[in-house]
A and B are shown apart, each in its own frame.
Chain A
Amino acid sequence: MMNVITNNNIQCTIALASLQDVVDPEIGLNIVDLGLICQIDFDDATNKIYCTMTLTTQFCPMGESITNAVKETLTTTFPKYDAIVELTFDPPWNNEMISIEGREFLNEK
């Protein structure tokens, strides 16, 4: 698993697997391996998923599409939950956050 903070490892693994379908349209790499997902917490009392993520650059023109896709994917994967996606730019994204798999993908492509 990536360095994603969570309060539920099992659910988080499922969430990350589903989020691998969300691809950054410019780079062609999924947002999990790109290192955009920072934290996923599950609140069973209120049936909410709190996903904290970043973007490769603040004011990224594709940002709205990517966050919409994350919300939609989490809601589809966990139909009983309501997904809340929040953005963070502290710390800002840098290319060290790309996973080993992501680097292999970019080197191959």
Chain B
Amino acid sequence: MFTTIGNTDTSTTTSWKVVLPFYAYAAIAFLVACLLLLLSAGDFTGHYFHPHTLAITHIMALGWGTMMILGASHQLVPVLIESKLYSNVLAYISFASAAIGIPFLVHGFYVFDVGLHTQCGGILVIVAIISFLINLAVSMVKSKYENVHAFFIFTATLWLLTTAIVGLLLLYNFSFSVMPKNSLDYLPLHAHIGIVGWFLLLVIGVGSRLIPMFLISKYNNTRQLWWIYGLINGGLLAFVSAFLYTANKSLLTIPLLAVGTAIILFGDFCIRSYRQRIRKKVDEQMKVSLLSILMMLLPLLSLAIIITLLIFTIKENISLVLGYGFIIFFGWITAIILGMTFKTLPFIVWNKVYHHLAGKGKMPNPKDLFNNTIFKWMSIAYILGFVLFTTGILIHSIPVLQIAAALLFVTSLLYNWNVIKLLLHKPAMS
């Protein structure tokens, strides 16, 4: 009747020892990024190519976003590909290289000394990405189960590697002329390969698996996901070609439309999953995550305005570009992480502390391991801080930027409070 696998060996899940350092590092990186934002709030009334802005962007993109995603991916890849993670050693190498490389890189940007130590930082980040890519590729090859979500993650990691290599070339380009133009001219290329190729592709690939799973939804549409995959990758390739080989700004509307359509299709996927859910009550963490999907539309709208202005005025609107970057890193990516941390980390910690004690007495639920009131205050501080800071950028108001930065710093403190509470949790049974 049933084909059993003959045992209960479910220890094929990735060890918490691999995953937790990524979460802890990302939490500290978020705190540091918000502190730097507080100290440099006034810089957000000037040009986006500012040492402090570059430092904050890289700590948010790498220390916060990428470290969190890498940590969660090491845990989620076995679920997605239905096979064990190939190597814990590669995961440790990935963590150590990134953990050492990111501060070198960020410090280099902050003091704008893009010499040897900053370049070494960049190389270490590339080593971290390659380690993850190998780990992922071998895990996928060993898995008998192929699915669209795994392709999303793998392709996203290839784009991340491309982003890092382009970034390293831009660093060298400050000292030696390795590229035909100034490094500043290539920033949109570097940034968009990272934002669309890495973050967007990965968030959709993982989200399209986790959102229906957490909602216990009946909805599943692989064909729709393949369309999204094709539109994002096609759009990104079109952007790279248009950027490198033509000066015609109106061609940028093609990738914008492709990626925009992909985001709308993903929005449709989420709405259908939500409507066809069996589990009617949606928790706070899931609400924040769903809000972040809606927030994908904000950068898209900003980008459409930026491109329209570029086509018709041939002049870049600096505040709008700054606002666009801020919305992506402190808006969309941060909202996803704030929600998903407390949807995944409590389970990892619960498993670490209680899996040997299961069935031996009453134990707390994973969602009881962190403080939900703190989570709610964190969400309020975050939404207020985010809206105010975006407003501050657009109206060039330093006091507004400083108040908003303080609120975001409070957000990071509350976030770290709950993360530390989780990481230090000790068994409590009755």
Q: Using CB atoms and an 8 Å cutoff, list the residues of chain A in contact with chain B.
A: 5, 22, 25-28, 38-39, 52, 55-73, 76, 85-90, 95, 98, 103, 106-109
Contact = CB atoms under 8 A, between A and B. Distances in A.
7 contacts: A52-B2, A61-B347, A64-B355, A65-B354, A69-B358, A73-B359, A106-B280
A71 B354 CA distance: 15
A106 B279 CA distance: 5
A30 B110 CA distance: 52
Contacts of A98: 216, 278
Nearest to B77: A59
Interface of B: 1-8, 10-14, 75, 78-79, 82-84, 213-214, 216-218, 278-281, 347-348, 350-351, 354-356, 358-360, 365-366
B13 A63 contact: yes
Contacts of A87: 4-5, 7-8, 10
A87 B366 CA distance: 24
A93 B78 CA distance: 17
Nearest to B1: A5
Given A26-B347, A26-B366, A57 B213 contact: yes
B162 to A, nearest CB: 29
Nearest to A94: B218
B278 to A, nearest CB: 5
Given A58-B82, A68-B355, 9 more contacts: A38-B1, A55-B10, A60-B10, A61-B14, A61-B75, A63-B13, A64-B8, A68-B358, A87-B7
B356 A68 contact: yes
A27 B84 CA distance: 24
Contacts of A90: 2-3
Given A25-B365, A71-B359, A61 B216 contact: no
A38 B1 CA distance: 10
A92 B131 CA distance: 32
A89 B350 contact: no
B359 A22 contact: yes
Contacts of A66: 358
A58 B112 CA distance: 48
A25 B1 contact: no
A98 B279 CA distance: 11
A72 B358 contact: yes
Nearest to B365: A25
Tell me if B's interface is mostly helix, strand, loop or mixed.
Answer: loop
A60 B11 CA distance: 10
Contacts of B1: 5, 38-39
Given A59-B78, A88-B2, A103-B278, A72 B360 contact: yes
Contacts of A62: 347, 350-351
Given A39-B1, A88-B2, A72 B10 contact: no
A65 B13 CA distance: 11
A4 to B, nearest CB: 11
A93 to B, nearest CB: 11
Contacts of B278: 95, 98, 103, 106-107
A87 B12 CA distance: 13
A56 B210 CA distance: 12
B9 to A, nearest CB: 8
Contacts of B214: 26
A106 B216 contact: yes
Contacts of A58: 79, 82
A26 B241 CA distance: 45
Contact of A57 (B79, B279, B351): B79
A105 B79 CA distance: 26
What are the 5 A-B residue pairs with the smallest beta carbon separation, nearest first? A72-B359, A63-B10, A69-B359, A69-B358, A90-B3
Contacts of B366: 25-26
A83 B352 CA distance: 24
A36 B281 CA distance: 21
A25 B10 contact: no
Given A25-B347, A57-B79, A68 B13 contact: no
Contact of B359 (A5, A25, A68): A68
A28 B13 contact: no
Contacts of A55: 10
A76 B359 CA distance: 9
B79 A60 contact: yes
A73 B359 CA distance: 6
A66 B287 CA distance: 27
A85 B281 CA distance: 32
Nearest to A68: B358
Given A61-B13, A64-B11, A109-B279, A70 B359 contact: yes
Contacts of A89: 3, 5
